[in-house]
């Protein structure tokens, strides 16, 4: 078995998703010798893409916000700023069997399922959460309970509860208001004169990933793929080595960016307390059924499904954001669903998921026919997001563990903000800072990630 000298590598990053790659980038820019070890065949994690119409599109839908200061910095630093653009998008809600536009105050007033008084309560409570509330004061308050009191029972039943139920399933009643505050702050901060401006890269996020991997190569970062870590050994109060199938790897410091559920399985008796704490963090899975169509479903980019019983919580029509002409006139729509790992959908085959999802489209789009579909793609992951239940900050691990050269930075550190590429950059910057690397040049604006455990 090949062994790498301890003095050769300053830092090993385990996990080649965006957090791991940006951590490696920041460390290498500071002159560190870095190695990234990724278990799968490809780097990028949730940024992975596939081909449609001589272009690329993500397995799991992505967009940026105007206030994504960290991501905008990274894009500029990688010299791909000319690929970045922002544009107005549209949102809708499917409620009581009807599609409603949901972009402005006028749209809210036209929304028939709730009364005028409830509309006022919805607006005021949303503004309070998105603009003024401090998430630290609401970690022990259930979103559902608070919304029933302040937004109203009808509004909660019609709007909020179905959305929370489809996203969080059996955990919906335990989701803290802190998460809702993070979610609404993220969306409201991207609005300008009432319109939401969202961003994307011409050519997909593969442009970002390719540019980042190229820069890492230029900086001498060693990129090791298809090498899941199988064992970690300890000596005194340090990690001595990590082992993949055919190689032993050594470094001065180790940063693990893989999901807590995977990391805990690698830890032995010496780190039992860390492992026990990590096991407290549960994950949601996510499935995206991506339809390649010969026509558009509607003129709405993001349609939230507020009626109960549907197997998906959102329909994101990508080509109402990026023109279908970019994909040889193919129209692209995501049917998106989060799931608890004990849900039936977690064990379904791709064909079963496909049939389940398509069965419900005619209930939304009158006249819909499967003849419109040119191809169906199904992607599923079991670690799409953490289950952030009440007082979740108490579960978020410290980046610097009790083991001297052992650091953790993963999706749990996004809380109370919502998972995004930008927030992954923020977490990477905070992890490097904790490891003694200057990242003060990475700007921050409105991200609430990286506040806990660092």
Is the confidence at residue 3, as pLDDT, over 60?
no
| Alpha-carbon gap, residue 333 to 196, rounded angstroms | 20
Across the range 118-144, mean pLDDT stands at 95
Pair 233, 239: CB distance under 8 Å: yes
End-to-end CA, the chain:
36
pLDDT value at residue 266: 93
Which has the closest alpha carbon to 245: 263, 233, 227?
A: 227
Radius of gyration over alpha carbons of the chain, in Å? Answer: 22
Going 148 to 150 to 155 to 158, the CA torsion angle's sign is negative
pLDDT value at residue 6: 47
Question: Looking at per-residue confidence, does 76 or 271 come out higher?
Answer: 76
| Alpha-carbon gap, residue 38 to 241, rounded angstroms | 16
pLDDT band at 1, cuts 50/70/90? low
Pair 239, 271: CB distance under 8 Å: no
According to DSSP, the residues that pair with 290 across neighbouring strands are 334, 377
Q: What is the rounded average pLDDT for all residues in the chain?
A: 94
Is the confidence at residue 50, as pLDDT, over 60?
yes
Single pTM value for the model: 0.93
pLDDT value at residue 270: 77
Write out pLDDT tens, residues 396-441: 999 999 999 999 999 999 999 988 999 999 999 999 999 999 999 9
| Alpha-carbon gap, residue 289 to 111, rounded angstroms | 28
Write out pLDDT tens, residues 215-247: 999 999 999 999 999 999 999 999 999 999 989
Which has the closest alpha carbon to 57: 288, 212, 226?
A: 288
**DSSP strand pairing (247-249 vs 2-3):** parallel
pLDDT band at 268, cuts 50/70/90? confident
pLDDT value at residue 191: 67
Q: What are phi and psi of 232, to 5 degrees?
A: -120, 130
289: three-class secondary structure by DSSP = strand
In this structure, how many other beta carbons lie within 10 angstroms of the beta carbon of residue 110? 12
Buried b (16+ CB within 10 A) or exposed e, 78-101: bebeebbebeebbbbbbbeeebbb
Write out pLDDT tens, residues 280-328: 999 999 999 999 999 999 999 999 999 989 999 999 999 999 999 999 9
pLDDT value at residue 387: 92
DSSP 269: G
According to DSSP, the residues that pair with 13 across neighbouring strands are 36, 255
How many angstroms separate the Cα of 248 from the Cα of each of 5, 38, 42, 224, 230?
A: 10, 14, 21, 12, 10
Question: Looking at per-residue confidence, does 7 or 256 come out higher?
Answer: 256
Pair 155, 114: CB distance under 8 Å: yes
Hey, what are 302's tokens?
A: 């993001």
Which has the closest alpha carbon to 66: 446, 453, 448, 452?
A: 446
Pair 35, 21: CB distance under 8 Å: no
Length of the chain, in residues? 454
Instruction: Kindly write down the DSSP assignment for every residue of 385-440, as one continuous string.
Output: EE---TTGGGTSPPSB-SSTTEEE--GGGGTTS---HHHHHHHHHHHHHHTT---T
Write out pLDDT tens, residues 89-130: 999 999 999 999 999 999 999 999 999 999 999 999 999 999
pLDDT value at residue 194: 63
Edge-first strand listing for the sheet containing 314-317: 98-101, 91-95, 302-305, 314-317, 331-340, 283-293, 373-386
| Alpha-carbon gap, residue 328 to 315, rounded angstroms | 21
| CB-count burial class (<10 Å; 0-12, 13-18, 19+) for 231 | exposed
Pair 241, 392: CB distance under 8 Å: no
Is the confidence at residue 4, as pLDDT, over 60?
no
According to DSSP, the residues that pair with 110 across neighbouring strands are none
């Amino acid at each position: 078995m090949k062994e790498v000298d301890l003095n050769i590598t300053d830092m090993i990053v385990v996990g080649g998703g965006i957090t791991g790659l940006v951590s490696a980038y920041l460390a290498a820019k500071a002159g560190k010798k870095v190695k990234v070890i990724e278990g799968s065949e490809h780097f990028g994690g949730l940024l992975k893409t596939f081909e449609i119409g001589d272009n690329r599109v993500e397995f799991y839908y992505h967009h940026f916000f105007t206030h994504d200061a960290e991501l905008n910095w990274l894009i500029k630093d990688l010299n791909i700023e000319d690929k970045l653009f922002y544009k107005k998008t549209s949102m809708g809600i499917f409620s009581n069997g009807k599609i409603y536009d949901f972009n402005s105050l006028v749209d809210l007033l036209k929304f028939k399922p709730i009364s005028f008084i409830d509309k006022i309560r919805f607006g005021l409570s949303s503004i309070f959460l998105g603009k003024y509330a401090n998430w630290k004061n609401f970690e022990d308050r259930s979103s559902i309970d608070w919304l029933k009191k302040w937004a109203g029972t009808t509004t909660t039943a019609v709007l909020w509860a179905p959305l929370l139920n489809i996203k969080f399933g059996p955990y919906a009643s335990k989701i803290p208001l802190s998460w809702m505050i993070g979610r609404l702050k993220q969306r409201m901060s991207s609005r300008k004169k009432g319109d939401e401006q969202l961003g994307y890269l011409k050519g997909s996020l593969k442009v970002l990933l390719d540019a980042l991997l190229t820069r890492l190569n230029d900086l001498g970062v060693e990129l090791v793929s298809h090498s899941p870590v199988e064992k970690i050994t300890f000596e005194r109060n340090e990690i001595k080595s990590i082992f993949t199938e055919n190689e032993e790897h050594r470094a001065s410091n180790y940063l693990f960016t893989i999901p807590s559920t995977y990391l805990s399985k690698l830890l032995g008796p010496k780190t039992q307390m860390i492992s026990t704490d990590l096991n407290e963090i549960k994950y949601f899975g996510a499935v995206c059924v991506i339809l390649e169509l010969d026509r558009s479903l509607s003129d709405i980019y993001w349609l939230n499904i507020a009626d109960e019983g549907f197997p998906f919580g959102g329909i994101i029509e990508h080509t109402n954001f990026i023109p279908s002409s970019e994909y040889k006139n193919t129209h692209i729509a995501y049917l998106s669903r989060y799931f608890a790992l004990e849900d039936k959908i977690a064990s379904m085959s791709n064909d079963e998921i496909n049939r389940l999802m398509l069965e419900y489209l005619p209930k939304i789009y009158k006249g819909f026919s499967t003849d419109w579909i040119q191809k169906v793609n199904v992607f599923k992951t079991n670690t799409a997001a953490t289950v952030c239940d009440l007082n979740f900050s108490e579960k978020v691990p410290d980046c610097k563990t009790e083991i001297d050269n052992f650091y953790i930075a993963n999706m749990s550190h996004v809380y109370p903000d919502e998972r995004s590429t930008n927030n992954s950059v923020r977490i990477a910057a905070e992890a490097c800072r904790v490891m003694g690397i200057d990242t003060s040049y990475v700007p921050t604006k409105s991200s609430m990630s990286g506040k806990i455990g660092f």
